[in-house]
């Protein structure tokens, strides 16, 4: 959902050839102001006991700025197609490890406050004419942290004389 496209560009977010979601407003050698939201479809957490958002992402070309000044992660329970009219809750991610490299950093964010609800997730990117960092996101998933599945087989010992009868 593009709010403000950079001049000379038809997008901010794109799904690139590597399978990442990528945002940037660096166009023709210049940092340009923009605002664009990568918005999910509705996610049903009604069965989740302890939902956790997991993903890997990169921030590059920050030039000493803080990542959270250019990307916010938000959740809405009333999104209907318009990012400006929905109510959004910002969720905090660990931005302390970003240092202008192409190294992906794993993130895990607790979504327990949205347990039992239907949500929409958004990555809201905003750039300025001073800084238009590149953001890349991959391996995005929401899992139930407490859900553990074990393939368990139970056996009952049966005397050898009864094996044939039970078969």
pLDDT 10s digits, 14-30? 988 888 899 999 998 99
Q: For residue 161, what is the enclosing H or E element?
A: helix 160-166
Rounded Cα–Cα distance for residues 162 and 124 (Å): 66
Q: What is the mean pLDDT of the chain?
A: 85
Question: 52-56, 58-62, 98-102, 119-123: which has the minimum mean pLDDT?
Answer: 98-102
The band of 166, judged by pLDDT with boundaries at 50, 70 and 90, is very low
In the block, residue with structure tokens 């239907």:
118
Joined together, the tokens standing for residue 18 give 């590597």
**pLDDT for position 2:** 86
How far is the CA of 165 from the CAs of 1, 156, 159, in angstroms?
66, 15, 11
User: pLDDT digit string (tens) for 32-49?
Assistant: 999 999 999 999 998 888
């Amino acid at each position: 959902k593009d709010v403000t496209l950079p001049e000379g560009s038809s997008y901010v977010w794109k799904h690139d050839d590597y399978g990442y979601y990528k945002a940037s407003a660096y166009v023709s050698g210049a940092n340009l102001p923009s605002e664009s939201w990568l918005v999910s479809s509705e996610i049903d957490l009604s069965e989740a006991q302890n939902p956790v958002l997991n993903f890997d992402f990169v921030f590059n070309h920050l030039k000493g700025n803080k990542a959270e000044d250019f990307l916010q992660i938000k959740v809405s329970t009333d999104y209907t197609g318009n990012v400006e009219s929905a109510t959004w809750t910002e969720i905090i991610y660990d931005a302390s490890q970003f240092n202008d490299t192409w190294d992906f950093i794993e993130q895990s964010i607790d979504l327990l406050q949205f347990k039992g609800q239907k949500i929409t997730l958004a990555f809201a990117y905003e750039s300025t004419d001073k800084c238009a960092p590149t953001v890349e996101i991959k391996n995005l998933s929401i899992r139930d942290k407490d859900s553990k599945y074990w393939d368990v087989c139970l056996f009952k010992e049966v005397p050898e004389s009864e094996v044939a009868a039970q078969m």
